[in-house]
Every structure is written in structure tokens, then in C-alpha cells.
Amino acid sequence: MAELTVKNLEKKASTISLRRKPRWGETIIQGLLFFSGFFSIFITLGIVYELGKEALLFFQMPGVDLLATLTTTEWKPHVNKFGIWPLLTSTLMTTLIAMAIAIPLGMGVAVYLSEYAIPKVRSTLKPILEILAGIPTIVYGYFALTFMTPLLREIFGKDVVQIYNTGSAGLVMGILILPLISSMTEDALSAVPRSLREAAYAMGATKLEVALQIVVPAALSGIAAAIIVGISRAVGETMIVAVAAGAGPNFTFSPFIGAETITGHIVRISGGDLSYDSIDYNSIFALGLFLFIITLVLNIISQAIVRRFREVYE
Amino acid sequence: MSLNWALSLSYSINPDYTYMKSELTWQEFIITRAIKASGYSAIVFVALIFFFLLREGLPTLGEVSFSNLVSTRWYPIEDYFGIVPLITGSLIVTIGAALVAIPFGIGTAIYIAEIAPRWMREILKPLVELLGGLPSVVLGFLGILVFSPWLRVFLDLPTGLTALTGSLLLGGIAVPTVVSVAEDALDTVPRSYREGAWALGATKWQTIWRVTLPAARSGVLTGVMLGVGRAIGETMAVMMVTGNAPVLALSLGSLFSPVRTMTATIAAEMGEVASGSVHYHTLFFIGLVLFLISLAVNVAASAVVFRSKKRAERILS
């Protein structure tokens, strides 16, 4: 904007042309931005193509049947039993437990940071929260196995809680997801215009009433999006469940029993020696595709929610 | 909606004012305390994990001599516990990932928020979020099977499992987080700021670079921190594609050779060590070092955010 000073303008006034000047630098920059936007489309399509291609090979193998995969409850690749439910229920268990921790705490953190905390407290708490997002997932995994599990065994009894269990994996996963949810929710809360708060204060509402009954409902679409992102991260989380949730598919709804999740199964299978084109190898892609579909469905739901509850200000 | 609520509140006020008020404040007291407590719960969790790492990792300092720890040889079977090659491995992969994720992520966010027409936005935003939800184990597996062979042929390397492969893959994993948070931040910049800049004759790019981006700086940096944080903490994908050779990575050339990161070392070796052994403690010590590194990065970044935010506010208010 340096050329916009009065002096420059006066100098240029005699020669000025009203036709739009081509700005090559800006055209290039916009082209680059356009390219980086489109790159993500290509990557996503590439991933879908690759997963779909290999998963198709799996379902074409003898002894594999899509219907049986979706309806039976035994996953035993050695005897050609590929029922996805035992992997799915444990994924569901860990995700549910994680969200039971992360949603209430995340909301609390976000409301506190956006509505209550003075700037100084906020500037300390936010980086600390983001540290939680940066701790290696493998450390979380062993935190679950050697800290949370003994704690659960102490509380519920050693006969009830197995060494590997979905409960401790889910609890620790909740801690991992907490910063993601709280930081996205806080962004949504602080985007609510100040005038809404002031109107409520003027009507005599207390601080808590303003926070919970004005600001939170107004930011509902952002909060819903945060929760969905959190869920899809929990579904895809790998290392914690691979370490702490146990190996071996197990059709159970008890949080105290070891059960392998979809991601945990992929890790265990891919860690071993796999021959190319074996049935195990191809099953990994089918499971990957399955995870992708879950994520896709969650995204569609979140889009619908955001559109339904979106409130426009200004 | 909010006005309706406020009206209904004023109707419901009980004539017995003192009774109403004391009950309300009593409830409020509890809920407010609960909100405050959960606000501080983050500190409890960080402290808990820090304490856990200290408990498991600190004994190393007594068991392994300091000169051994800072040596350049990691070969635990013969008691060589030099963690320097692991640190350089992590650094080179993470810096590479940040160099991919930051320009790409912010560029995509700017494109989606400022330049793309509305219909394009409706397609791009969900797609990026979908990419962010993809499990890293799936991406890592695709990295081994598709990306690293391609990179090996393309760059004519002896192996495709290199620091560069890890950087690019991790960068790709971090991009959606950066885009999602940064785009939200750009989106909340009031339209009047842009209109003011346009009225002064600024071009679209000048508006983006000098008005919108500085105004959204804090949110953009949060996105970068969350994305890079995910890259630092990512274990599985890195272990799959970086080749896992504990070699000292100091020159630019080591970008094209296998490296081993700290997280991959912990993940690969933890399953095979005896609990309480020297090796076990050293692996947790590595976790502790990693924790301290990400703490330092976070504190430094938030210091930058706070300074620049004040400056942006001064300019724009």
C-alpha cells in the first residue's frame, strides 16, 4: 500500500489510467493458493481410489462375503471368518469412553477460557492445553497401560479388570482429544458477538446464565463440528489402543475386558510379516476403507448439523 | 432467540425475591466451580503425565552415564544409549513436516476463506476435514505401499523409506488440522475490515496479507500449533515410512536417507523390554525429552502470539 500516499497519487495523477492493471505477482500468488486448495482434493481422491481398489480385491477372494462381513460376529482370518462386529464394538467402546471424558471437560474448559478466565490465566492455560495435543500418542499408550490400568484395577478389583482393557485406553484417549474439542469450541464461543452478551446482561442475567443460555446455544454449530472432529479422531486413534486395549478381536461391551479395535488390528497385522496379496494383507485395505466410510458418515452428519443450527450475525 | 429467553426469564422471577436469589446463586456457585475446575483440569492432566514420565524415565540418569546418553550411538543391546541421533531424526522430520504443513495449510485456508467461490468452498471444506479424520495408520500404510516406492523411483534413491518421505507424509497429516482451524479464524474476521482496505484501494492480495491475516493471527497460529503438535506426536505413520535407522542426521543430505525418530524408537522397542530395566527407563527418558521439547516450542509460540496479537490489535482497533 506504499504507493497509496498522497504524494505518489499526485505524481501519478497526470498519467493515471483507469484500466485495470495486470498484476502478475498477484496472479501467481492466487494461482499458488488455488493449487494448494486443489491439492487436497487430489490427495483425498487418490486415497479413496487406492483403498477402494485394494479392498475390492479382498472382497473378491474366495471365502469372503460382504454380507457375512457386515453381519457376523467373529473375526478369525485363519479360518476365513471375517465378521467385522468384534472390531467395531471395541472401536465404539473406546470412542464412547473417550467422548464421555472429552466432551464435558472440553466444554467446561472452553466456557471457562472464553467467558470466565482473565487474559493472564488464559495465556497460561491455552499453551498448556496445546501441550496435551503434542504429547506423542505412544507415551499416552504406555500412560494408559502402566498408570491408568493399575488405577482401574485398584478401584474395581483385579478380578474384574483385565490388564488390557478398552476402559483405560478410552479414558486416556479422552485426555488426548480434550485439547482438540476445547480449542475448537472456544473459537466458536469467542466468535459470538459481544452485543448478544451485553443484551442479556442488560436484562439482568448473571454471568453463568449468559454463558450457558446465550453464548453456548448461539455457538451450537461450531460446538457440534468440534465434537464430530473429536469423534473421528477417536475412531482413527491408533497407538493408544494398540498398546493398551489388548490384542485379539473380542465381541464384548465390557470396558474392563481386552478387545482389539479396527486400528489396533491394522497395526498388529501390518507389523508382522505379510506376504503380498495374502488375505490378511488385503483385509487391511478393507478395514481402512471401512474406517474411511465411518469418517465420511460422521462428516456428512456434522455438515448437516452445522447447516441446521448455523446462526449468522452482523 | 436470546431475547425470547431473556423475556421469559423476567416473567419467571418469583415475588419472593430473596429466596429466589439465594437458590440461584447456590446453584450458580456449584456450576461455576465445576466450570473453573474443568478449566484447570488440563494442568492436572499435563502434571499427571509429566509426573508419570519423571517416575519412569528419571532413573536413567542414575543408571546410564551422561556421556553415554549424549553420545551418537544408539545400540541398546550393547548398552549404547546415545539419544542424539534420535533427537536429530525427530527434528529433521518434524521441521520438514512443518515446512510442508505451514505454507500449504495456510495457503489452503486462505484460498478457501478468501478466494474460492461459494460452491467451491462447500466442496473443499468438508473434503479437507475428511482428510483430517483419516486414521494415520491407514495413511502410513498407504505411505509404505504407494508413496515411498514412487518417491524412490522419482528421486532415484536406494530406498524410499527416508526422512523426506516421513516429512511429506507427516506434513500431509498436519495440513487438514492447520486448514480447519486457520480457516475458521480467517472466517471470523469482520467483513468491515476487508471493506475498509478495499475502500483504500488495496488489492485482494494486499487485503489478505496485511489486514485479514494479521487480524486472524492468533487463530492461525493455534491451528499451526495443533497441526505441528500432531506431527510431533505422530508415531505410527512415522515408524512405517522413515526406515528407522538410528543415524546422526546433521546435513541436508540426510533428508534422503533413513532416520529414526524418538516416537518410533519408543513404539518399536517398548514392547520388547523388561519392565524396570535400564533400556525401559531410557525409553521413557526419551519420552520425557520429547515432552520438554514440545513444552518449549509451545511456550515460545504462545509468547510470539501474544506479542503479535497486541500489535495487530493496536493497528486494527
- Of residues A236 and B6, the one with the higher pLDDT is A236
Q: Which of A69-78, B100-109, B132-141 has the highest mean pLDDT?
A: B100-109
Q: Shortest CA distance to A113 belongs to which of A4, A188, A214?
A: A188
B271: helix, strand or coil: coil
B40 chain-A contacts, CB cut-off 8 A: 125
B156 with B15, same domain?
Answer: no
Give me the pLDDT at residue B137, please: 79
B118 with B248, same domain?
Answer: yes
Give me the pLDDT at residue B149, please: 83
B111 and A131 within 8 Å at the Cβ level: the answer is no
Interface mutation target, options A54, A58, A107, A135, chain B, most CBs of B under 10 Å = A135
Q: Shortest CA distance to B74 belongs to which of B202, B260, B241, B231?
A: B260
Put simply, whether B188 touches A (Cβ < 8 Å) is yes
Number of domains in chain B: 2
B28 with B72, same domain?
Answer: no
pLDDT in tens, B192-251: 889 999 999 888 888 998 889 888 887 788 788 878 877 877 777 887 787 777 777 666
pLDDT at B10 over 60: no
B36 chain-A contacts, CB cut-off 8 A: 112, 116
Put simply, whether A118 touches B (Cβ < 8 Å) is no
Instruction: Please identify among residues 132-171 of chain A the ones whose CB lies closer than 8 Å to any CB of chain B.
Output: 132-140, 142-143, 146-147
Give me the pLDDT at residue A102, please: 92
Percent of chain B with pLDDT over 90: 3
B46 with B192, same domain?
Answer: no
| Domain contains B3 | no
The domain segmentation of chain A, as residue ranges, is 83-309
| Domain contains B2 | no
B10 chain-A contacts, CB cut-off 8 A: 203-204
Put simply, whether A304 touches B (Cβ < 8 Å) is no
B50 with B69, same domain?
Answer: no
| Domain contains B167 | yes
| Domain contains B4 | no
Put simply, whether A209 touches B (Cβ < 8 Å) is yes
Q: What is the mean pLDDT of residues B107-136?
A: 83
- Taking the CA of residue A132 and the nearest CA in chain B, the distance in Å comes to 7
B50 with B196, same domain?
Answer: no
Put simply, whether A305 touches B (Cβ < 8 Å) is no
Put simply, whether A278 touches B (Cβ < 8 Å) is no
User: In the A/B pair of chains, how many CB contacts fall below 8 A?
Assistant: 299
ipTM, 2 decimals? 0.75
Put simply, whether A199 touches B (Cβ < 8 Å) is yes
Question: Over chain A (314 residues), what is each successive 10-residue block's mean pLDDT?
Answer: 59 64 80 82 82 81 72 73 82 91 91 87 81 81 88 84 86 90 85 87 88 87 83 84 80 80 81 67 82 84 76 56
Q: What is the CATH number of the domain that holds B100?
A: 1.10.3720.10
Give me the pLDDT at residue A16, please: 63
pLDDT at B315 over 80: no
Nearest CB to A108; choose among B34, B184, B284: B34
Confidence class of residue B7 from pLDDT cuts 50, 70 and 90? very low
pLDDT in tens, B74-103: 877 777 888 888 888 888 888 889 998 998
Q: What is the mean pLDDT of residues B28-36?
A: 85
DSSP for B34-100, please give it: HHHHHHHHHHHHHHHHHHHHHHHHTHHHHHS-HHHHTSS-EEGGGTEE--HHHHHHHHHHHHHHHHH
B22 with B136, same domain?
Answer: no
Give me the pLDDT at residue B200, please: 92
Put simply, whether B47 touches A (Cβ < 8 Å) is no
pLDDT at B23 over 80: no
A180 and B226 within 8 Å at the Cβ level: the answer is yes
Q: What is the mean pLDDT of residues B151-170?
A: 82
Put simply, whether B186 touches A (Cβ < 8 Å) is no
| Domain contains B5 | no
A238 and B236 within 8 Å at the Cβ level: the answer is yes
B33 with B80, same domain?
Answer: no
B270 with B121, same domain?
Answer: yes
Put simply, whether A32 touches B (Cβ < 8 Å) is yes
Using only the alpha carbons of chain A, give its radius of gyration: 26
pLDDT at B17 over 50: no
B148 with B254, same domain?
Answer: yes
Q: Shortest CA distance to A212 belongs to which of A197, A224, A227?
A: A197
B5 chain-A contacts, CB cut-off 8 A: 200, 213-214
| Domain contains B181 | yes
Domain boundaries, position B180: 65-316
B48 with B78, same domain?
Answer: no
Give me the pLDDT at residue B317, please: 41
Q: What is the CATH number of domain A83-309?
A: 1.10.3720.10
Say if CB B235 and CB B300 are below 8 A apart. no
Put simply, whether B137 touches A (Cβ < 8 Å) is yes
- Taking the CA of residue B143 and the nearest CA in chain A, the distance in Å comes to 10
Neighbours of B159 (CB within 10 A): 15
CB burial of A199-226 (b: ≥16 within 10 Å; e: otherwise) equals bbeebebbebbbbbbbbbebbbbbbbbb
B70 with B48, same domain?
Answer: no
